[in-house]
Chains A and B, each alone.
Chain A
């Protein structure tokens, strides 16, 4: 259904820039959205897709740049204004209230009223029904959203968007949580929306989908515009090349690498599977095996939803009832059922979410540092505070943590120093294997470098490190070996010499042919 010439532009972002503390999330990005077309937005995690989407839908304003709607400049101060202008977003985590009905969700906050001021359910349900019919979705407007499948909930979100008369619908990874048959229903739906002239903005990691439904493509990398054009002008390889860029290979060559010595095997995982908590038979991780040597960094690369975090959590004893597989530490089989057991076995885990999972924000730097090893500071059931302070001070010096004092609330530290406090907490337990999940997320560049050299220092001393990350440069810089995960499976393994950004990205995007 290629149209003659270029279709009409409905919405356009010009020279968008946005920065957050420590990160330039968007840098002078242009993005054009065509009427009746699928406008795909691709890029690695952290490329700026979400930021751009949030600006276009009025979640926050850009630092600079203009939004043009049908050629006229518009300013959205809040999501509602964007919605009223005909721009709707369907988030990855659907935004529906599970205990309300379909119709109540569609008209939430703007329910039609009867003359008495009560909700006009008859009208609401009738209008919902006709919207759902238009979407060819035979769902009763009265049924509770919690009783619908994810794919059906997505359609309800689309119905809600249409009820605003949306001309632009932004979909953030809409196929990440739905089955294949639901996906083909969604694609048919997208086709019919396009023929009604609705512009779709489609954010995805799954390039093969774009071959089926894409019309226009824009690639972002590190907050910058890299290229855009007709979908048909690009093949997968050229898209991947645009996503990863050339600069990372340069990074790699200029950066000073520590020696690579192969130590003896410290940890081995065999056929680790993790089931989804409330969906039996669905797996977050499926039969993943790997091993880590002493003094080695094993990088686990994968895009959002690849199962990295679930894998690490399972190894740390956090997903007992839902995980299977065997683990061996120093050649001996270990069975870990709780974080306490993991710590005693010599495994440490610095989680992705520092503030919620890594730290007790209400406590001080010292209290957080000693939390996992408090027993060491105990004498006759009573804590010896001078002993505790000495130990904590030792780690603070060693990791060069910048804090006004030991009794400063950890909340007041910068992200980089908070991460170092978490590392200090784990080093205090004298671990053999340190698992890191996104160790530098949201940390500024200077602190990142410090954490990198710290990791190198620790592995130099014989510690084995298992590092999951969605940042390719980070993986490339630190890892001795790299395994790649996609949709819960291990799709490739590279030695340091073999690894190049394009083949890693291909494995992460799960090109069956390439693996």
Chain B
């Protein structure tokens, strides 16, 4: 009986976000004729795809009880790295050698860059016991700086049509970024719910000490989580760069906040151990609909930020209140 009640409440918490999303959709449909159209629907899904990539990684990190403030900066350096390699290759002037990169080679290099920086975060956090907030704040600065060094402060543009496919292409009438983010959501829903690793992530966030005493390799799990988060940030970076056909030196500025917001609105507890990828998907959708709606209504971008902040506060306040009711 107790079990049933707890379940029901858990479901209600999940429904809170769905109800909020539906209310927003209904409200927007009345306020703007352009909102409830197929084209705008795909538009929203495409717009949230980058945030979704970051937020999936962020969800894993937050589930372990950590935080990653470097996702936006890692996105920027990974995108710029891939773009630079594709456009210019690497020149070794002494050896009179120029290594050119194919599209897939450049993409791979961008992904590796993200994975490496994420791994580095994990190393700092586990080996040197630096709190995640500080370790990833350091990485934020490092990756931002590296992006400026690599791009020399100028956008890298003209990346060719093949590279543009991942950001702008369509398959079966559905935009490529939507395919990619949908695939990632599917994979990580399975990872979190159906694999040993996923279970360990929740256990670690629930109680690090109990996880350690149950024989879990706590440090390895943490490193894996931050590495994955870095890799997913790189996917976001490639999508952004491809979509704009340009690697901007300050791409992804402030994206870490959007992704933390999506995770929190999606009901994942910042203290770790509780939350879900599907919740984060909802969180991304809510933020996406909000951004899209406010633009359609011609609300000033400054007000958009204010509204977004209020939505985050409301979501978390409701979450806390419903937990208290339990």
Contact = CB atoms under 8 A, between A and B. Distances in A.
Interface in A355-375: 356-363, 367, 371-372, 374-375
- What size tier do the contact residues of chain A reach? 35 or more
A356 B207 contact: yes
A209 interface: no
A316 B190 CA distance: 33
Interface in A427-451: 429
A453 interface: no
A358 B215 CA distance: 12
A372 B203 contact: no
A92 interface: no
A51 B199 CA distance: 40
A405 B2 CA distance: 10
B215 A339 contact: yes
Nearest to B198: A383
B213 A383 contact: no
B206 A361 contact: yes
Interface in A382-427: 382-383, 385, 404-405, 407-409, 412, 425
A408 B273 contact: no
A318 interface: yes
Interface string B51-67: 00000000000000000
A363 B190 contact: no
B210 A372 contact: no
Contact of A357 (B206, B213, B217, B273): B213
B127 interface: no
Interface in B223-277: 273-274
Contacts of B190: 382
Contacts of B200: 374
B214 A372 contact: yes
Contacts, number: 88
A372 B207 contact: no
A367 B210 contact: no
A325 B56 CA distance: 46
B299 interface: no
A358 B210 contact: yes
A371 B207 CA distance: 12
B313 interface: no
Contact of A360 (B3, B194, B203, B217): B203
B196 A375 contact: yes
B126 to A, nearest CB: 14
A59 to B, nearest CB: 26
A412 B196 contact: no
Chain B's interface size range is 20 to 34
A374 B211 CA distance: 12
A378 interface: yes
A501 B157 CA distance: 84
B196 A374 contact: yes
B137 interface: no
B320 interface: no
B88 interface: no
A381 interface: yes
B1 interface: yes
Nearest to A381: B195
Nearest to B211: A360
A351 B2 CA distance: 28
B273 A362 contact: yes
Given A374-B199, A382-B190, A383-B196, A361 B207 contact: yes
B195 A409 contact: no
B209 A371 contact: no
A41 interface: no
A409 B203 contact: no
A229 interface: no
B216 interface: yes
Contact of A367 (B3, B203, B209, B213): B203
Nearest to B10: A409
7 contacts: A339-B215, A358-B210, A361-B207, A362-B206, A374-B196, A408-B6, A409-B6
Interface of A: 316, 318, 338-340, 342-344, 349, 351, 356-363, 367, 371-372, 374-375, 378, 381-383, 385, 404-405, 407-409, 412, 425, 429
